[in-house]
Structure 1
Amino acid sequence: MEPAQKDRTPFSDIDALSAQMSEIVLDAIVAMGRHPEIQRVRRVAFDSLRPATGQRLLDAGSGTGEVARLLAARVGASGEVVAVDHSTSLTAAALTRHDGSNVRYMLGDVRALDLPDNAVDGVWCERVLQHVEGADQAIAEMIRVTRPGGRLCLVDTDWDSLGFDGMPAGLGDAVLAHVRSHFIPRQQDMGRTLRRRLVAAGLSRVSPTPVTCLFTTPASAAVVLPMVNPRVPAESWATPPGLRDEWLASIDAAGASGTFLAVLTIWVVAGTVPG
Structure 2
Amino acid sequence: MEPAQKDRTPFSDIDGLTAQMSEIVLDALTAMGRHPEIQRVRDIALAGLRPTPGQRLLDAGSGSGEVARALAARVAGASGGVLAVDHSSAVTAAAISRHDGSNVRYLTGDAGDLDLPDNHVDGVWCERLLQHVDDADTVIRELLRVTRPGGRICLIDTDWGSLAFDGMPAGLADLVLRHVHGHFTPQQHDMGRTLRRRLVAAGVRDLTATPFTCFFATPESAAVVLPMVNPDVPADAWATPPGLREEWLACVEAAGASGTFLAVLTIWVVAGSTPR
TM-score, length of structure 1 as denominator length: 0.98
Cα distance 1:105–1:4, how it changes in 2: closer, same or farther (>3 A)?
A: farther
Cα deviation for residue 196 of structure 1 reads 0.1
Give the distance between the partners of 1:135 and 1:202, measured in 2 at CA: 15
Q: Give the match for residue 232 of structure 1.
A: 233
Q: Give the match for residue 41 of structure 2.
A: 41
SS at match of 2:181: helix
**1:107 is the counterpart of 2:108:** yes
Residue identity matched to 1:259: T
Q: Give the match for residue 171 of structure 2.
A: 170
Of stretches 6-15 and 211-220 in structure 1, the one that deviates more from structure 2 is: 6-15
Give the distance between the partners of 1:2 and 1:134, measured in 2 at CA: 10
Q: Give the match for residue 186 of structure 2.
A: 185
SS at match of 2:119: coil
SS at match of 1:170: helix
SS at match of 2:170: coil
Of stretches 117-126 and 75-84 in structure 1, the one that deviates more from structure 2 is: 75-84
SS at match of 2:254: helix
Cα deviation for residue 6 of structure 1 reads 5.8
Q: Give the match for residue 156 of structure 2.
A: 155
Measured against aligned partners, the alpha-carbon deviations of 1:123-164 in whole angstroms (never above 9, x if no partner) come to 000000000111100000000000011000000000000000
Please report the RMSD computed on the Cα atoms of aligned residues, expressed in angstroms.
Answer: 0.9
Give the distance between the partners of 1:232 and 1:38, measured in 2 at CA: 20
Measured against aligned partners, the alpha-carbon deviations of 1:59-104 in whole angstroms (never above 9, x if no partner) come to 0010111100000000013201001110000000000000000001
- In the comparison of the two structures, how many residue pairs are matched? 275
- Is contact 1:153-1:271 (8 Å) kept? yes
Q: What 5-or-longer segments of structure 2 have no aligned partner?
A: none
Q: Give the match for residue 124 of structure 1.
A: 125
Give the distance between the partners of 2:131 and 2:85, measured in 1 at CA: 17
**1:32 is the counterpart of 2:56:** no
- Is contact 2:6-2:186 (8 Å) kept? no
**Could you list the runs of 4 or more consecutive aligned residues of structure 1 that deviate by over 3 angstroms after TM superposition?**
1-4
Give the distance between the partners of 2:249 and 2:27, measured in 1 at CA: 21
Cα deviation for residue 2 of structure 1 reads 3.7
Q: Give the match for residue 65 of structure 1.
A: 65
Q: What 5-or-longer segments of structure 1 have no aligned partner?
A: none
What's the % identity of the aligned pairs?
75
Give the distance between the partners of 1:68 and 1:166, measured in 2 at CA: 37
SS at match of 1:142: helix
- Is contact 2:6-2:188 (8 Å) kept? no
Give the distance between the partners of 2:263 and 2:114, measured in 1 at CA: 36
What aligned pairs does 1:197-236 form with structure 2 within 5 A after superposition? Answer: 197-236=198-237
Cα distance 1:63–1:3, how it changes in 2: closer, same or farther (>3 A)?
A: farther
Cα deviation for residue 179 of structure 1 reads 1.3
Q: Give the match for residue 10 of structure 1.
A: 10
Give the distance between the partners of 1:178 and 1:274, measured in 2 at CA: 42
Q: Give the match for residue 54 of structure 1.
A: 54
TM-score, length of structure 2 as denominator length: 0.98
Residue identity matched to 2:9: T
Give the distance between the partners of 1:39 and 1:240, measured in 2 at CA: 35
SS at match of 2:123: strand
Of stretches 227-236 and 92-101 in structure 1, the one that deviates more from structure 2 is: 227-236
- Is contact 1:3-1:14 (8 Å) kept? no
